[in-house]
């Protein structure tokens, strides 16, 4: 740029207002601008990189579930428009799921809370931040005398520096009551995995397996880190193509992708797994893998006995065992339908034992790399933690309760009197982006920034490769003047409680920036602190190479009891399996219209709840699609339309979770019913966790009928049209294909 009639860079910056001085350009240049005759003013004071009409991408981390996927937000004219996967992120690999896409609808939701609410005369009424903070300070500020169990902080899955702040806040009260509740907790499975494999959440090397045998593990749908698992699955399906066998009472999305799908009676997964163990141990090569007492106890698990209990054809056992022997390395997974039982931990242990017998540890199963910041890793939620909190509230011990990211009044089982216990807490504060059933019962409701407006960090409990810390940064300015970031609110309180330690941080941004830059040596970065921080924001992730660790397996913890048939209560002839939709999860996403209108993958139903019933059972009971059924357990009943679903064990009925909201905005309220409320008080014998899949029900016809709103047409069949063509694996030349799956 040497021509005399061009604006030089310095002036260009001045014109844009970047160099700060808006003074008229002095001088005697050749253009009207240079000579100061004309003045160019910027397009409404643009920020850096804001060019009208041009979308710019900023890195951040998705907060829709606990996976911690790196995302890129497309920002144009100061508005966030769409999220994509961040290719820097090991977890997302540049991909994104439906849930992640819908994060923009959390942000732009028309039912967002935009002002603080305070309970006055029994009703929540809008108030100002000054009043809200004054109330908060009076109760929980420097003068507060609460201590220990008198204060509790209830959250969903939370990680990173937000988790650290919550811990520090509670520390200032000498309280350890950070209660993490996740209605879909996998605590039972994790306990069994810890015992048998030596790791609560081992790394699954799906792409290294040649055969996956999954007992209800929905790793492609509602499991842990589904986007990462999907990428691994895609590689698993490339030449040499791996085989997936799924065994479960109700077909999950993963089951729908299986080469072979088996239906079995809920709760008998462990019996089937021990049947397989028995069949395998008859072959000398595996004999030394398990202690002799177990081998002896397995003698009773012959295929006829196993078939009688599980309802799976007897030939399936030697067949699947044969497949497992032929294909090494394999990978055997347990899932919620096996674990959510009164013998859940036992089931999971029996399933994971197969990995020990088959020698999969170290091949398709490894330990996660050790993490330099274990305090930042998301802690696992559990039902036990919620009952403890419930008892503490009911006894009058808990004097103050803060809630963020958890909605137990909706998602706790109906038999737990959580709402009633909560009434006994004199001061209840909810921090939410949108009022939900639990927030509606609080005394103070504080409006939060959406995750697209706030800083944060995320450390998933499942780290697929090395270590990845996801950095969340605002993708646009706050939509509303009266919402605040979660970190800022907690930090505000901490500053009052411990001014000495926290007065240096004017806001959460400053806290996070210092915390991240202090971690710089761990990441062996040679950059300056500021550059390191900028770099972290730009790439959206902090990564560390770290090798997976070895697993210490222990087969002797597996309990092999006598195989016994279920005793059936004739009053409740059906097993009840609640299913988890990958998009609605425990119901926290039912307020997002894209997800409500997104047809359920297996049934194509939208905006509703339904009762799945096997076509043969429906024929016996003369039930047609759309007939309204009453599903009654010992703990309650719900009514929903029948849907004839072949992917179901015939003695089982299934309902999706997530619907049935009463106070969660226009898109969620009144849609369907809430099956959490009919779960029976049954618990896993070992861990005490809720046995979510153990409830039994009776089905009653109501005589009413309604049209089922769904996407599928009159027929589920292709009727000879070549729509989805299927080819046998041995007929396809996959090895010669151009593979385009990203590593």
Residues between 248 and 287 that touch other proteins (CB under 8 A)? 251, 253-263
Fill in the per-residue mask, 41 to 60: x = in contact with other proteins (CB under 8 A), - = not in contact. ------------x-x-----
Cα-based torsion angle of the residue sequence 694, 696, 702, 703 in order, rounded to the nearest 10 degrees: 90
Which of 89, 243, 460, 579 is in the footprint of other proteins by CB under 8 A? 243
Task: Tell me the CA distances in angstroms from 564 to 122, 262, 268, one per residue in order.
Answer: 53, 20, 9
Quick one: 226 or 266, whose CB is closer to other proteins? Answer: 226
Contact between 734 and other proteins by CB under 8 A: the answer reads yes
| Integer Cα distance of 93 and 540 in angstroms | 12
Stretch of residues binding other proteins (CB under 8 A), selected from 384-392, 455-463, 530-538, 713-721: 713-721
We find the least distance from the C-beta atom of residue 717 to other proteins, in angstroms, to be: 5
Among 123, 119, 169, 118, smallest CA distance to 147 is for: 169
Contact between residue 643 and residue 654 where contact means Cβ atoms under 8 Å apart: no
User: In 10 A of CB 682, how many CB atoms?
Assistant: 21
215 upstream amide cis, omega within 30 of 0:
no
SS3 525: coil
We find the least distance from the C-beta atom of residue 66 to other proteins, in angstroms, to be: 17
| Integer Cα distance of 614 and 585 in angstroms | 23
Stretch of residues binding other proteins (CB under 8 A), selected from 89-97, 138-146, 165-173, 429-437: 89-97
Which of 391, 556, 662, 718 is in the footprint of other proteins by CB under 8 A? 718
Quick one: 253 or 690, whose CB is closer to other proteins? Answer: 253
Which of 63, 83, 377, 697 is in the footprint of other proteins by CB under 8 A? 83
DSSP string across 433-482: SS--TTGGGSSEEEEBPPTTTS-EEE--S--SSSEEEEEE--SS--SSTT
Contact between 616 and other proteins by CB under 8 A: the answer reads yes
Contact between 137 and other proteins by CB under 8 A: the answer reads no
Residues between 315 and 374 that touch other proteins (CB under 8 A)? 323
Contact between 639 and other proteins by CB under 8 A: the answer reads no
We find the least distance from the C-beta atom of residue 245 to other proteins, in angstroms, to be: 6
| Integer Cα distance of 90 and 107 in angstroms | 25
We find the least distance from the C-beta atom of residue 249 to other proteins, in angstroms, to be: 11
Residues between 573 and 592 that touch other proteins (CB under 8 A)? 582-583
Residues between 468 and 487 that touch other proteins (CB under 8 A)? 479
Sign of CA dihedral 386, 387, 388, 393: positive
Within 8 A by CB and 6+ apart from 455, the residues are: 472, 473, 474, 485, 487, 508, 509, 512
Within 8 A by CB and 6+ apart from 507, the residues are: 485, 488, 491
Quick one: 36 or 94, whose CB is closer to other proteins? Answer: 94
Quick one: 246 or 341, whose CB is closer to other proteins? Answer: 246
Which of 88, 194, 208, 237 is in the footprint of other proteins by CB under 8 A? 237
Contact between 622 and other proteins by CB under 8 A: the answer reads no
Quick one: 79 or 194, whose CB is closer to other proteins? Answer: 79
Please give the order of strands across the beta sheet that includes 79-85: 56-61, 70-76, 79-85
Which of 23, 28, 707, 714 is in the footprint of other proteins by CB under 8 A? 707
Burial class of 659 by CB neighbour count within 10 A (0 to 12, 13 to 18, 19+): buried
Contact between 656 and other proteins by CB under 8 A: the answer reads no
We find the least distance from the C-beta atom of residue 574 to other proteins, in angstroms, to be: 17
Contact between residue 373 and residue 459 where contact means Cβ atoms under 8 Å apart: yes
| Integer Cα distance of 335 and 341 in angstroms | 11
We find the least distance from the C-beta atom of residue 718 to other proteins, in angstroms, to be: 5
474-478: which pairs have CB atoms within 8 A and are 24 or more residues apart? 474/449, 475/58, 475/60, 475/73, 475/75, 475/80, 476/75, 476/78, 476/79, 476/80, 476/452, 477/78, 477/453, 478/449, 478/453
Which of 59, 96, 273, 385 is in the footprint of other proteins by CB under 8 A? 96
Contact between 619 and other proteins by CB under 8 A: the answer reads no
Which of 372, 593, 681, 688 is in the footprint of other proteins by CB under 8 A? 593
How many residues bind to other proteins according to rule CB under 8 A? 101
Fill in the per-residue mask, 193 to 232: x = in contact with other proteins (CB under 8 A), - = not in contact. ---------------------------xx----xx--xx-
Fill in the per-residue mask, 102 to 121: x = in contact with other proteins (CB under 8 A), - = not in contact. x-xx-xxxx-----------
SS3 244: strand
We find the least distance from the C-beta atom of residue 347 to other proteins, in angstroms, to be: 21
Within 8 A by CB and 6+ apart from 345, the residues are: 188, 189, 191, 192, 195, 339, 684, 685, 686, 687
Fill in the per-residue mask, 667 to 686: x = in contact with other proteins (CB under 8 A), - = not in contact. ----x---------------
Q: Are strands 330-334 and 365-366 parallel, antiparallel or unpaired?
A: unpaired
Which of 5, 145, 622, 738 is in the footprint of other proteins by CB under 8 A? 738
Which of 2, 4, 622, 726 is in the footprint of other proteins by CB under 8 A? 726
Stretch of residues binding other proteins (CB under 8 A), selected from 100-108, 198-206, 386-394, 551-559: 100-108
Stretch of residues binding other proteins (CB under 8 A), selected from 91-99, 170-178, 531-539, 541-549: 91-99
Quick one: 497 or 641, whose CB is closer to other proteins? Answer: 641
């Amino acid at each position: 740029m040497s021509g005399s009639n061009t604006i030089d860079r310095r002036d260009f910056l001045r014109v844009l207002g970047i160099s700060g001085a808006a003074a008229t350009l002095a001088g005697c240049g050749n253009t009207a601008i240079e000579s100061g005759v004309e003045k160019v003013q910027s397009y409404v004071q643009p920020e850096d990189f804001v060019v009208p009409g041009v979308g710019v991408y900023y890195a951040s981390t998705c907060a829709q579930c606990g996976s911690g996927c790196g995302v890129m937000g497309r920002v144009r004219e100061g508005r966030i428009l769409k999220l994509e996967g961040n290719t820097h992120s090991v977890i997302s690999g540049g991909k994104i799921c439906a849930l992640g896409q819908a994060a923009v609808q959390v942000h732009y939701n028309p039912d967002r809370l935009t002002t603080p609410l305070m309970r006055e005369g029994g009703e929540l009424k809008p108030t100002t931040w000054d009043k809200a903070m004054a109330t908060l300070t009076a109760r929980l500020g420097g003068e507060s005398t609460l201590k220990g169990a008198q204060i509790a902080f209830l959250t969903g899955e939370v990680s990173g520096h937000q988790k650290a702040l919550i811990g520090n806040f509670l520390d200032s009260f000498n309280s350890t009551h950070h209660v993490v509740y996740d209605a879909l907790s996998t605590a039972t499975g994790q306990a069994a995995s810890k015992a048998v494999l030596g790791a609560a959440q081992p790394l699954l090397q799906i792409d290294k397996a040649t055969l996956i045998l999954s007992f209800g593990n929905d790793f492609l749908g509602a499991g842990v880190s589904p986007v990462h698992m999907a990428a691994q699955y895609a590689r698993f399906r490339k030449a040499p193509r791996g085989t997936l066998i799924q065994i479960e009472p109700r077909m999950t999305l993963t089951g729908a992708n299986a080469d072979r799908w088996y239906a079995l009676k809920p709760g008998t997964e462990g019996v089937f797994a021990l049947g397989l163990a028995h069949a395998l141990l008859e072959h000398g090569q595996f004999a030394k893998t398990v202690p002799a007492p177990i081998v002896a106890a397995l003698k009773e698990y012959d295929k006829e006995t196993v078939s009688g209990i599980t309802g799976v054809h007897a030939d399936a056992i030697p067949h699947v065992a044969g497949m497992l022997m032929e294909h090494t390395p394999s990978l055997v997974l347990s899932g919620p339908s096996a674990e959510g039982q009164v013998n859940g931990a036992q089931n999971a242990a029996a399933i994971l034992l197969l990995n020990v017998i088959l020698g999969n540890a170290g091949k398709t199963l490894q330990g996660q790399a050790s993490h330099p910041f274990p305090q930042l890793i998301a802690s696992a939620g559990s039902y036990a933690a919620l009952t403890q909190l419930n008892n503490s509230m009911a006894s009058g011990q808990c004097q103050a309760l803060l809630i963020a990211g958890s909605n137990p009044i909706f998602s706790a089982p109906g038999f737990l009197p959580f709402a009633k216990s909560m009434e006994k807490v004199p001061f209840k504060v909810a921090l939410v982006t949108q009022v939900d059933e639990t927030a509606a019962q609080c005394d103070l409701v504080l409006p939060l920034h959406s995750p697209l407006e706030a800083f944060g960090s995320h450390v998933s409990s499942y780290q697929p490769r090395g270590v990845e810390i996801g950095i969340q940064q605002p993708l646009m300015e706050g939509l509303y003047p009266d919402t605040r970031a979660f970190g800022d609110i907690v930090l505000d309180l901490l500053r009052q409680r411990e001014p000495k330690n926290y007065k240096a941080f004017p806001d959460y941004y400053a806290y996070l920036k210092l915390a991240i830059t202090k971690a710089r040596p761990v990441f062996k970065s040679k950059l300056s602190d500021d550059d390191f921080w900028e770099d972290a924001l730009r790439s959206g992730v902090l990564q560390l190479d770290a090798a997976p660790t070895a697993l210490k397996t222990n087969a002797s913890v597996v309990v092999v009891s006598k195989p016994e048939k279920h005793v059936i209560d004739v009053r409740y002839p059906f097993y009840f399996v609640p299913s988890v939709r990958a998009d609605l999860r425990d119901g926290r996403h039912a307020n997002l219209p894209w997800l409500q209108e997104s047809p359920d993958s297996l049934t194509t139903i939208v905006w509703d709840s339904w009762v799945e019933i096997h076509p043969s059972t429906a024929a016996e009971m003369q039930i047609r699609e759309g007939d309204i059924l009453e599903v009654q357990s010992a703990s309650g009943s719900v009514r929903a339309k029948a849907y004839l679903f072949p992917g179901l064990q015939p003695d089982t009925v299934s309902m999706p979770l997530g619907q049935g909201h009463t106070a969660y905005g226009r898109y969620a309220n009144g849609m369907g019913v809430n099956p959490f409320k009919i779960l029976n008080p049954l618990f896993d014998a070992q861990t005490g966790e809720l046995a979510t899949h153990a409830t039994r029900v009776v089905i009653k016809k109501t005589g009413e009928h309604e049209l089922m709103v769904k996407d599928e047409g009159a027929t589920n069949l292709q009727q000879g049209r070549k729509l989805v063509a299927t080819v046998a694996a041995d007929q396809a030349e996959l090895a010669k294909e151009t593979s385009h799956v990203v590593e």
